[in-house]
Structure 1
């Protein structure tokens, strides 16, 4: 006997027949029962697929969450400035990062000396400024010798709120020892006229761990060498270094060139060039797995400013660098000369130092100084001038009194311009220091307007900046802070050998003759 139709909410009666009446009678009730009832089972393959996708999704979220938490918890922060500083985490604009190597002997670094070797915040064992162009096509890495004598501004320890007075003529590696890393940033800003966006500071252990993570870094030296102080021992030619030997290669102060700081800088730059090539060739910056391993290693031994204190901010830097042409990664050392106050120390060599800093402020491509930086929207190409013969002036250049007033703030700057004037035929010249001004000008006395116009044209100073000055005898070229380099106003002047190497160059370091040993 069939079931009552009152039970149809549990499903259609299979014994009711297959005719039209049994199929469609009370269709609304039957329809709901057929589509929502429990007899229609999910296919087995769909169950398995759904389960697998669920596990993968949850596992992926868990994996991402684990790595995010891990990397974030690794990061140590410190203030960007020992005064008033602002951070910039823009992923598209120009970015300048001060990279520091700390000589602290705490924790895992204790084997390299006692804590007394690095009192306070420690000293910067390495100091490099990495400048990433706004279009991510160029990187300049500028090294500052630790023995460079500079002026350190007044700094305030942001933790203790203790203020430290400004210092004159002290080694740049002391900048962070009292008031922290922010004081090193402020010192570089003061020295270069730039505004550093971020900093990264790593200790000795970071070098060992990073070199191990990438599987070693190739370095080259002209002769077999052994340095007992750093324990660096390398054979002649190319070697792969990692761990302790990689650290020794970067730490040694005596193994290269004449045993001074400049040889050490070139070796460090060679190491970084090789590391850059390896990471680029291995596709590390395009591989999430490899990038995570690098990020984990680095962040465990890294201190950054608050603007970089997040995983996305750090990964942004890697993303900006992943497609760069390694021939556009330029390694530069700040031009120096033995200091007048202490020949065992260094001072900025002028005018080359000011030329470098001016080029950095103008965002010049150091690998090709003649190339124009990214033009602003307001700039338009000017039509090329038709070549004309230079007219003979209605006066004798050699007897015209022309002086140069150095208001640029750059020592020795007037001598450069005097030389340019003499080369141009104005041989009766003089020079003297003057009060700094922001804009250069050419002043002239009575009856010297034509001479002033020619002097301005020779130096490239615009006609609008040529002015009468009855008190001037002859012509005076007054140099301002807008004319700190080169012999032509507005042009970039850099020493021809300012770039030590690019990341695309494989160079061998010259061994210190006093430390050469037999292979």
Structure 2
């Protein structure tokens, strides 16, 4: 008999088939729901993990108001299509490379004992208004400076020190003192700071699939453990870090030779990032994000995944070709032939030029 309600013959067979289909659909639905729940849980864990990787330092609270003025921010034009437009104003970031002694990975990569850390790399990165071009200024660690009084995490403050090496600022007062010293010598406000340790840098290079660089001379440096013939090389994270640390194997063995290699690496990393379509590979994207955040210390204005992502998205039109790398103009220090001092008025002119962007 045909049932006008179900549209099937009322002999029991149709109901059986429909029941099986219903159970199959329910099972598929439960499986899909379970997969979505697990996927959401995994995504939530990944976001929490990446967020938790980042160490934040409250720079504004530590330094107070005795700092250079903030750059004037151009208002976002009204009527933009996006409800939350990306920032386009100029921004200046102090990037520190720390030879941290903490952790087995850093020690294995050349961090030495476990009694401290130095900022062997210091770059003032100024991104121009519009965020399509940038200037990277390297500060030689051997530069003699006046180190201002810096607050200490344990309370109190350091004394003003005259004619001391630039990298002592980080050694005595961490990133807060490094920022204050840079602001004191440049009269340029550091909107943010970013510190990356040995292992974080090596992991980032590996997550990107390595980096390709060209050197103009043979390198043989026992201290950095790098031997490299002149020419083009594709380096993994460990060898890229060794290149960034190489000093005695190039030029006259001074910090200026190492800075030249670091600037080559900066350009190479930018080119590698721009040529790697991370969005097509969630696995690689996560590895890169984990590497970036894993060895990262920032100010509290950048210490979340959301804030770092916004900064990264605002730099989407910044290409390696539009990044200028320079070294702070220096001359041999009159008091010590193994140290340098800022060359004036060239150094002041350089810092002043950053304020115009």
Give the TM-score taking structure 2 as reference length: 0.82
Larger proportion of helix: 2
Q: Deviations over 1:205-261 (max 9, x none)?
A: 122212221121112222333111211111221111123322211111112222211
Give how far 1:309 is off. Answer: 1.4
CA distance in 2, matches of 1:325, 1:300: 25
Partner of 2:33: 54
CA distance, structure 1, for counterparts of residue 87 and residue 320 of structure 2: 20
The one of 147, 153, 159 aligned to 1:152: 147
Match status 1:75 vs 2:71: no
Residues 154 and 163 of structure 1 are in contact (CA less than 8 Å); yes or no, is this contact kept in structure 2? yes
Q: Distance in 1 between matches of 2:351 and 2:331?
A: 16
Preserved contact between residue 146 and residue 171 of structure 1 (Cα < 8 Å):
yes
Alpha-carbon distance, 1:286 to partner: 7.9
Task: Please state how far the C-alpha of 1:326 moved relative to its aligned partner.
Answer: 2.4
Relative distance call for 1:256 and 1:134 in structure 2 (3 A) is: same
Equivalent residue, structure 1, for 2:14: none
Q: 1:337-416, aligned counterparts within 5 Å? A: 337-363=331-357
5+ residue gaps, structure 2, are 6-17, 72-85
Other-structure match for 1:258: 252
CA contact (8 A) 2:100 2:118 kept: yes
Greater Cα offset, 211-220 or 351-360: 211-220
Matched residue of 1:163: which SS? coil
Q: Is the alpha carbon distance of 1:344 and 1:69 closer, same or farther for their aligned partners in structure 2, counting shifts above 3 Å?
A: same
Cα displacement string for residues 469-488 of structure 1 (whole angstroms, at most 9, x for unaligned residues): xxxxxxxxxxxxxxxxxxxx
The 1-side partners of 2:323 and 2:30 are apart by 49
Q: Which whole-Å CA distance do the structure 1 matches of 2:44 and 2:100 have between them?
A: 32
Q: Deviation at 1:54?
A: 2.7
Q: 1:295 aligns with which of 264, 289, 294?
A: 289
Q: In the alignment, which residue of structure 2 is the partner of 1:124? A: 119
Give the Cα–Cα distance (whole angstroms) in 2 for the partners of residues 302 and 67 of structure 1: 16
Residue 324 of structure 2 is aligned to residue 327 of structure 1 = no
How far apart are the structure 2 equivalents of 1:92 and 1:66?
A: 31
Please tell me whether the aligned partners of residues 212 and 233 of structure 2 are also in contact (alpha carbons under 8 angstroms): yes
Pick one of 266, 270, 280 that aligns with 2:264: 270
- 2:83 aligned with 1:95: no
* CA distances 1:78-97 after superposition (whole Å, capped 9, x unpaired): 23254216999x84432222
**In structure 2, what is the Cα distance between the partners aligned to 1:321 and 1:293?**
20
Any conservation in 2 of the 1:285–1:322 contact (CA below 8 Å)? no
Aligned length: 324
Contact kept, 8 Å, 2:274 with 2:319, in 1: the verdict is: no
**Aligned-residue offset at 1:150:** 1.2
Output the CA distance in 1 between the equivalents of 2:285 and 2:308. 11
**Higher RCO, Cα 8 Å, sep 6+:** 2
Equivalent position of 1:214 in the other structure:
208
Question: Is 1:140 matched up with 2:138?
Answer: no
Residue in 2 aligned with 1:513?
Answer: none
Whole-angstrom CA distance in 2 between matches of 1:127 and 1:285? 30
Q: Cα distance 1:48–1:322, how it changes in 2: closer, same or farther (>3 A)?
A: farther
Q: CA RMSD in A?
A: 2.9
The question of 1:198 aligning with 2:192 is answered yes
**Bigger Rg over Cα:** 1
Q: In the superposition, relative to structure 1, how do residues 52 and 133 fare at CA in structure 2: closer, same or farther (>3 Å)?
A: farther
Partner of 1:311: 305
Cα separation, 2, equivalents of 1:166 and 1:70: 40
- Cα distance, 1:323–1:53 mapped onto 2, change above 3 Å: farther
